[in-house]
Homo-oligomer: A and B are copies of this chain.
Amino acid sequence: MAPALVLATPAGITTLAAPEGAPVAVRTAARGGPELSGEGFRLVRAAATTVVVARTGAGLLYGLHSLLRNASALAEGEVLDEVHEPAQAIRMLDHWDNLVTHPVMGQVERGYSGGSLFWSEGRLREDLSRVEEYARLLASTGINRIAVNNVNVHAAEARLLTDGLEDVARLAEVFRRQAIRTHLSVSFAAPITVGGLGTADPLDEEVQRWWAQAAERVWARIPDFGGFVVKADSEGQPGPFAYGRDHADGANLLARAVAPHGGTVFWRAFVYDHRQDWRDRSTDRARAAHDHFAPLDGRFHDAVVLQVKHGPMDFQVREPVSPVIAAMPGTRLAVELQVTQEYTGQQKHVCYLGPMWSEVLRFPLWGEGGATVADVAGGRGPGARPGGVVAVSNAGDDEFWTGHPLAQANLYALGRLAWAPQLDPVAVLEEWIRLTFGPDEALAALLHRIMDGSWRTYEDYTAPLGVGFMVRPGHHYGPDVDGYEYTPWGTYHFADRDGIGVDRTRASGTGYAGQYPAPWREVYESPRTCPDELLLFFHHVPYGHVLSDGTTVVQHVYDTHFRGAQAAAELVGLWAGARGRVEERTWARVRDLLEEQARSAREWRDQLTTYFLRHSGVPDAHGRAISS
């Protein structure tokens, strides 16, 4: 007899066809077993029957996707009784999609996968069949919320709140079927630009009324609408500072409007001075979010989730964890990750980000054994206020969804790690490989060789020892060591003929290290205890400074760049072995991109090694050729 799977719904027991023809049982939690949340599920297997138990349709959906990715739960004779609950109640994707193509940023800001899945020429697409597929894809990873327009809200997007509401409702309908709630990014200035008021002051009663009415309109049309995402007082976006108010005033204004409807305000903590004077070495962009927000802890409304980038800067390939996350026990916090590879190869380079996110989510904010980033976001840290995980999508209307076919793994891993941060990211990758390419052992082994260490390889040939922003200004692709060095963006490395790095110590630097609780404030304070991979983030050191492995800083740059470029170059040859094992179009797309990656990695290697040689005058210890 084939293994059986039974689905129980409130309406009774239904037997469905399952993979390999097995019957499936799903039932509501009313039938007993441990307490389940609305999204949790229980898998029980005895003899030849697997039962999925859940309290809601969403729980059943996740339970079924769980079985689809783990067919062994259906294996005959296997005994099973597992409860699955999401670590994060909020598992959200933000789309930086513009309704109309922006002259500089294109249609999808920092998008590398074609146009928007949703919008075309200012309106919702007529044909939403790909959105339906996308919603199912997201649900299979565990995503339960989506924001459908760019956080930089231009004129066309601002009108989604009003004229465009029918478009949003159509989208919400599609996502609702996959248990995903829809959100809008809104402009803090909307009362002026859309509402025609003379102010957007959060303490103004007319403004408060305007937001309350706007929320009423939206929820009247879309009863399960999720809420608003706001980028305020950031990189030119309007915000409460214009009225002498702080970010708690601003966020709470919107929170009071959405709370009666069960909505949430996602208020971004990405606030810093983007017109900094590069001559000023005391101002430190890394400090900005903590300086702005930590003093406001406890003042945010319950309907506000403060959305904090995982690092203090901006999605670099290597950053320390943001000190804001440990500093606001009285505030709901969501950690913001970036699936779209703005600074990590723009979906031209293979860069599997699961290991980075895993490091971030499992980072012990108060030292080994203490609460992690995922704990705080999940409401299991001090203060016990649940937020979640929010990430910027990498999907577009490209035929492979993500430009680089292998970048799909990042979208998958994001959802899985948001649900279960304790998962081994390589095991998550294994899931994606099996689900995508089937049971080809040799292909899976090959993909692991290409992808498992790809984030560290990318770090090797781009960003040494925690230095970021050595990229071409504007588009952020490819190397330009001094590209941001004399700009207003606050992103400097201060290289000179003697050394490099940013002194962020309390003793002699910007004091940023002091924004961490113990033990990190001490660990980061000294170059002797600071982890090598963050050395130049926290310290300005001579090129001859010796790292924990005995090499010098400059030799480390040479070694990692030669190693990384070599690893990138080898990928093309490895991938030749996949030909015939994947669809030819997929294979060819990956091949073309791997060639670009190899070229680009060489360019990174050569520019970085030349720059460090020209500045330090120190030749490579191994005598490899470096242009001078």
Contacts and interface: CB of A to CB of B under 8 A. Distances in A.
Nearest to A498: B617
A279 B482 CA distance: 17
A130 to B, nearest CB: 27
A486 B610 contact: yes
A607 B497 contact: no
A610 B482 contact: no
Interface in A591-628: 606-607, 610-611, 613-617, 627-628
B496 A628 contact: yes
A28 B483 CA distance: 63
A108 interface: no
A264 to B, nearest CB: 39
Given A480-B486, A481-B482, A607-B486, A497 B279 contact: no
By CB atoms of chain B within 10 A, which of A479, A482, A483, A486 has the most? A486
A495 interface: yes
A483 B480 CA distance: 8
A497 B617 contact: yes
Contact of A497 (B480, B610, B616): B616
Given A495-B614, A614-B495, A627 B279 contact: yes
A110 B220 CA distance: 53
Nearest to A495: B614
Nearest to A479: B486
A37 to B, nearest CB: 50
Most buried by B among A496, A606, A611: A496
A510 to B, nearest CB: 16
Interface in A497-538: 497-498
Contacts of A606: 279
Nearest to A278: B627
Contacts of A498: 617
A123 to B, nearest CB: 23
Interface string A355-379: 0000000000000000000000000
B495 A610 contact: no
A284 to B, nearest CB: 15
A281 B627 CA distance: 9
Contact of A279 (B278, B279, B610, B615): B610
Nearest to A628: B496
Contacts of A480: 482-483, 486
B486 A615 contact: no
Given A482-B481, A486-B607, A610-B279, A497 B615 contact: yes
A264 B606 CA distance: 47
Nearest to A616: B497
B482 A615 contact: no
Interface in A469-496: 479-483, 486, 495-496
Nearest to A617: B497
A7 B482 CA distance: 65
Interface string A186-218: 000000000000000000000000000000000
A483 B474 CA distance: 13
Contacts of A614: 495-497
A116 B628 CA distance: 44
A411 B482 CA distance: 37
Interface in A327-372: none
Nearest to A485: B482
Interface in A296-329: none
Nearest to A496: B614
Contacts of A617: 496-498
A620 to B, nearest CB: 15
A288 B615 CA distance: 30
B279 A496 contact: no
A279 B480 CA distance: 15
A236 to B, nearest CB: 19
Contacts of A628: 496
Contacts of A481: 482, 486
Contacts of A486: 479-481, 607, 610-611
Nearest to A497: B497
A497 B618 CA distance: 11
A555 to B, nearest CB: 17
A103 B102 CA distance: 11
Contacts of A103: 103
Interface in A124-178: none
Nearest to A103: B103
Contacts of A615: 496-497, 615
Nearest to A607: B486
Contacts of A627: 278-279, 281
30 contacts: A103-B103, A278-B627, A279-B606, A279-B610, A279-B627, A281-B627, A479-B486, A480-B482, A480-B483, A480-B486, A481-B482, A481-B486, A482-B482, A483-B483, A486-B607, A486-B610, A486-B611, A495-B614, A496-B613, A496-B614, A496-B615, A496-B617, A496-B628, A497-B497, A497-B614, A497-B615, A497-B616, A497-B617, A498-B617, A615-B615
Given A480-B482, A495-B614, A497-B615, 11 more contacts: A103-B103, A278-B627, A479-B486, A481-B482, A481-B486, A482-B482, A483-B483, A496-B613, A496-B628, A497-B497, A497-B614
- Of all A-B residue pairs in the complex, the 7 with the closest CB atoms, nearest first, are A496-B614, A497-B497, A279-B627, A482-B482, A486-B607, A497-B617, A497-B615
